[in-house]
Amino acid sequence: MSDPVNAILDAAVKDIQDHYHGFLLARTSHALGSSVLDSLTDNVRITATVGVNVHIEPIPVSELRAFRSVFPDFVVEVFHAKLLQHWHDATDRIFCHYVDEHISGRGRFDELGKVSVKLDFADETSLPDQVRATLARDFGFWRYSDRHKLINKLRNPTGSEADAADVIHKHVHLRNAFQHHHGILQEFPLRELGRHDITLLNEGGLAETFNAGQKATLSVAELDYLRRCLLLMAQRWRT
């Protein structure tokens, strides 16, 4: 009988690969658009329809040139967050699978440990379904390190691919920095990672170090490195 978790991981791998391909298309589109801007003089004005009844007033090419330096960072941060969301979704589904297997009696998974669940006896939902729903909801609020530790116990008890796991953990904190602190690194995530700084690849593929209080920057090379680490971890979790 095939392992349902393998199907979850295969779907995640496809989503990650498709999403990364979409990122490459977005970068290519930006590069092509930049070449068009370079062929125009600063005093040329452009207008466009960007949505239903939404029109851009004529704006000078010089203003578009100024914005294009911001656009690549914005795009990579958006695709970065979505890559990690695919991974989070997969870990949620894997956790729910094991909870369902354990509660239904189809398997015993002591790795799930001890948890507290609040039940509502006035709710017409069955108690097992209440437990499933509560555990699924609460798991989404666990620290990523705890989420990974549990799934790793279930799928990779030897702890193989620890380096790839560390990269993913680093990027989870980076995503939080971009979403909540404009990319500025905070002390707490560095302590959580057990580091004084983090290293990221720049656009030339060279390592750069960032400390607390500095603004981290993502590159195509670093996003590709994250993608490869996600694929490695997914492969390790397959059986």
What distance lies between CA 154 and its chain's CA centroid? 22
Structure tokens at 236: 């390790």
CB of 184 within 8 A of CB of 195?
no
Average pLDDT, the chain: 91
pLDDT tens-place string over residues 124-175: 999 999 999 999 999 999 999 999 999 999 999 999 999 999 999 999 999 9
Over residues 102-123, mean pLDDT: 91
Domain boundaries, the chain: 4-38+70-237
Model pTM score: 0.88
* pLDDT of the residue at 33: 79
Residue 235 has a pLDDT of 97
The pairing of beta strand 45-51 with beta strand 54-60 = antiparallel
pLDDT at residue 36 in the model? 77
Lowest mean pLDDT among 29-43, 152-166, 188-202: 29-43
Here the tokens at position 24 are 């490459």
